[in-house]
Every structure is written in C-alpha cells, then in structure tokens.
C-alpha cells in the first residue's frame, strides 16, 4: 500500500519544518504502508523552496515540486495531484490548521471502503468572526444553488482513493473550485469532524477580495442559478413594464395626454436599465469564464520536480 500526501505551500517557510516533523511522526506510526509526501511550492517569495529542498535531502520520503510562479492554491493542489501516483492520496495545508494526526483515521475509513474521506471543521480556532460568518454563508448559498452539493465547512483536507484520484486527474477545467470537483468525483464519501487549529505561523493568504473571487468561481463553475435568476428577473420586469405600458396607452386614449409623467418615465427607464445591466453583468461573468476556458492554456507550469529518493523508478 502506498500513501502520498500532497502539501501546497505559498510563503510557508516558518511552518514547514514543524509541519514535516508532525507528518513524519504520523508516517512512522503507519506500519506496512509506503509513505511519501510531495511539497508543492506555489511560487513562494520567501525561502519556502529551500526549506523544502533541505527536507528532501534529509528525508527520502520527500518529493518537491516548484511551480514557475504563484498560481493559487487550487492549481498548486492540481499540480500536486498530477504528480503523485498512489493507492491513497491525502491533501493537507502546510500551516498546520489541519492536523496531520488525523491521517490514520482517514486511512482507517479508506480501508473500510470509502473513496473520499474529508475533514469537516467542527470548530475553527484562531479565525475571525467575519471569516467564519462569510464562510458559513458561502457554504449555505452553495448548498442551495449547486446541483453538486459541496459539504458544509469542509476544506480541501481529505483522502482520495486511487480511483477518486484518477477521476480528479481527468478534470482539466481552468476555473478550478477544488471542493466542488472533489464532490463531483462521487464514489463513497465520508465526513470526519475535527477541530481546526489556528495557523502555526504566518498569516492567511486569502484576503476578503480573494475569498470573494473564490466564491464567485465556486458558484459559477458549479451552478447556472445566477443565469437563471437573470432570466427570471428580466422576464418579470418586462411583464410588469408591458402591463404598465398598456395602462399608459389606455389612459392616453381615453383621457388624452396631459404632459405629466416625467417621474414615471424616469422610473421606468432607470429601472429597466438597471435590470438589463444586472442581467448583462451575470452573462458577462459566465462569458469571461468561457473565454478563459477557450484559450486552452496549460493549468500551470513546472519549474522543477524532484521525486523522493525512495521510489525513483515510479515515474
Ligand atoms: N496556498 C497556496 N497558494 C496560494 C495560497 C495559499 O499554495 O496562492 C496554500 C497555503 O500555503 C496553505 C494552504 O494553501 O498551505 C491554505 O492557505 P491559507 O492557510 O492561507 O488559507 P486559510 O486556511 O486561511 O483558508
Ligand atoms: Mg490556513
């Protein structure tokens, strides 16, 4: 049995050594499994990559992958998954917010026959009220809108079986909302609650602007609901406008036109203009994403990949 752990990291040099210590301790306890960890450097600007290299030199179970620039967590994860080939893969953050000690539990459930075992945050320590609030609002909106329900309060921390991994590798879309893709893959999935720790060191890489864009990507890649809403709002307004138009016509025919009506005119023009802009904006969001897909660019570029010393023949 072969276990691979994929760790995306962006400016995590402070946390990485501690992370590896805790992960290595977990590996040591997993008897009878060949364990490997792949650190993906997502274009860090600090010395994250050199820390990774020194970990690799000291431990034969470590592979490193360096991307050519910062592509964002979703793509760093994708790159990592592309470069591993194992019976089970665990995806985990480098900042120790997801405890590596939970991996044996994931493996036990995988042995029971689950293909995707994911950690659900029972609590989130060290995160601001606003972050928790917006996160939970997002999961609830996603739940309502999407036909691939993304489990609540679930990050990317999870284990994938080989067939789930192979499924993930086939998904080559560019706007990648990984949580949604993991769910899309299907198979037998299980949630394991855990308490999310505060960051070991450094600060979060996601400010609210990034999170908002992340949420937009999530919603537009897994739901056409905003498009539908635009259609409904548009048709509803058009209907009201039509009825009002008929009323205005009848009024003018019966009582004659007394040049009033400036307020209602402005009202209608502004309202219709507004609705049209909203609908256009929604269409634009989807169009913009189609445009990105149409360019067919590679998802990421690799700067350097060094496989773990233990299994050079694998690739
Ligand atoms: N990360 C990454 N590329 C990025 C941003 C983040 O690889 O552009 C990694 C980061 O190093 C960490 C994980 O993704 O291992 C989660 O990021 P972070 O802890 O900042 O997010 P949060 O836990 O606050 O949601
Ligand atoms: Mg974090």
pLDDT tens-digit map of 136-192? 888 888 777 777 777 877 888 999 999 999 988 988 887 788 888 888 888 889 988
Most confident of 160-174, 231-245, 285-299: 160-174
Q: What are the tokens at 181?
A: 């893709």
Question: How far, in Å, is the centroid of ligand 2 from the Cα of 93?
Answer: 6
ipTM: 0.92
User: Which regions of 21-87 does DSSP assign to beta strands (E)?
Assistant: 34-41, 62-67
- CA-closest residue to ligand 1 atom 23: 204
CA atoms within 13 A on the CB side of 291: 6
Q: Which ligand is nearest to the CA of 10?
A: 1
Q: Is the CB of 12 under 6 A from ligand 1?
A: yes
Name beta bridge partners: 6: 38, 91
Q: Where are the domains of the chain?
A: 2-223+299-314, 225-295
- How many residues are listed for the chain in this entry? 315
**What secondary structure does DSSP assign to 158-218, as a single string?**
EEEEHHHHHHHHH---SS--HHHHHHHH-SSEEEEEEEEPPPSSS--S--HHHHHHHHHHH
Closest CA to 44 of 19, 18, 14: 14
Q: Is the CB of 73 under 6 A from ligand 1?
A: yes
User: Residue 274's pLDDT is what?
Assistant: 73
E strand or H helix that includes residue 28:
helix 13-29
User: Residue 266's pLDDT is what?
Assistant: 66
Dist CA 107 CA 113 (whole Å): 10
Contacts of 112 (CB under 8 A, 6+ apart): none
Q: Is the CB of 9 under 6 A from ligand 1?
A: yes
SS3 at position 126: coil
Asked whether the beta carbons of 23 and 94 are under 8 A apart, the reply is no
Q: Enter the pTM of the model.
A: 0.73
Q: How confident is the model at residue 311 (pLDDT cuts 50, 70, 90)?
A: low
Question: How far, in Å, is the centroid of ligand 1 from the Cα of 126?
Answer: 15
Rounded (5°) CA angle 15-16-17: 100
**Tens of pLDDT along 18-66?**
999 999 999 988 888 889 999 999 999 999 999 999 999 888 899 999 9
User: Residue 184's pLDDT is what?
Assistant: 84
Ligand 1 pocket test, pick from 66, 97, 205 with the greatest ligand atom count within 8 Å of Cβ, gives 205
* Ligand 1 atom closest to residue 8's alpha carbon, by position in its atom list: 7
Closest CA to 138 of 222, 218, 229, 225: 218
Q: What are the tokens at 122?
A: 């029972």
Ligand 1 pocket test, pick from 93, 209, 217 with the greatest ligand atom count within 8 Å of Cβ, gives 93
**Tens of pLDDT along 75-133?**
999 999 999 989 999 999 998 888 999 999 999 999 999 999 998 887 777 777 888 88
Closest CA to 43 of 66, 62, 65: 66
Ligand 1 pocket test, pick from 9, 15, 73, 194 with the greatest ligand atom count within 8 Å of Cβ, gives 73
Question: How far, in Å, is the centroid of ligand 2 from the Cα of 110?
Answer: 25
Asked if residue 252 has pLDDT above 80, the reply is no
Dist CA 44 CA 70 (whole Å): 7
- What spatial distance separates the first Cα and last Cα of the chain, rounded to whole Å? 17
- CA-closest residue to ligand 1 atom 22: 204
Q: Which ligand is nearest to the CA of 205?
A: 1
Structurally, at CATH architecture level, domain 2-223+299-314 sits in Alpha-Beta Complex (3.90)
Question: How far, in Å, is the centroid of ligand 2 from the Cα of 200?
Answer: 9
Closest CA to 98 of 4, 195, 17, 12: 195
Asked whether the beta carbons of 2 and 86 are under 8 A apart, the reply is yes
Q: Is the CB of 42 under 6 A from ligand 1?
A: yes
Q: What are the tokens at 170?
A: 């086939």
Question: How far, in Å, is the centroid of ligand 1 from the Cα of 253?
Answer: 66
Ligand 1 pocket test, pick from 6, 7, 8 with the greatest ligand atom count within 8 Å of Cβ, gives 8
Instruction: List C-alpha distances in Å: 160 to 90, 101, 153, 188, 295.
Output: 6, 17, 18, 10, 30
Dist CA 86 CA 105 (whole Å): 18
């Amino acid at each position: 049995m072969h276990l691979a752990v994929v760790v995306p990291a962006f400016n995590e040099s402070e946390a990485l050594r501690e992370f590896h210590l805790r992960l290595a301790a977990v590996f040591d306890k997993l008897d009878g499994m060949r364990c490997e960890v792949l650190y993906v450097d997502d274009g860090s600007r600090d010395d994250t990559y050199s820390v990774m290299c020194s970990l690799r030199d000291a431990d034969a179970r470590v592979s490193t992958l360096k991307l050519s620039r910062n592509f964002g967590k979703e793509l760093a994860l994708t790159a990592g998954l592309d470069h591993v080939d194992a019976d089970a893969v665990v995806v985990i953050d480098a900042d120790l917010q997801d405890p590596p000690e939970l991996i044996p539990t994931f493996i036990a459930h995988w042995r029971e026959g689950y293909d995707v075992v994911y950690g659900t945050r029972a609590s989130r320590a060290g995160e601001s009220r606003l972050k928790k609030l917006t996160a939970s609002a997002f999961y609830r909106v996603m739940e309502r809108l999407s036909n691939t329900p993304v489990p609540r309060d679930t990050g990317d921390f999870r284990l994938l079986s080989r067939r789930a991994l192979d499924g993930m590798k086939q998904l080559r879309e560019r706007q990648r909302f990984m949580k949604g893709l993991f769910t899309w893959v299907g198979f037998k999935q299980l949630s394991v609650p855990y308490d999310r720790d505060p960051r070991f060191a450094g600060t979060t890489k996601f400010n609210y602007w990034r999170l908002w864009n992340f949420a937009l990507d999530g919603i537009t890649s897994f739901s056409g609901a905003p498009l539908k809403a635009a259609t409904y709002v548009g048709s509803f307004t058009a209907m009201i406008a039509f009825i009002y138009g008929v009323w205005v016509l009848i009024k003018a025919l019966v009582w004659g036109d007394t040049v009033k009506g400036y307020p209602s005119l402005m009202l209608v023009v502004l309202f219709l203009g507004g609705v049209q802009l909203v609908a256009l904006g929604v269409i634009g969001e989807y169009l913009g994403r189609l445009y990105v897909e149409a360019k067919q660019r590679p998802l990421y570029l690799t700067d350097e990949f060094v496989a773990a010393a233990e299994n050079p023949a694998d690739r």
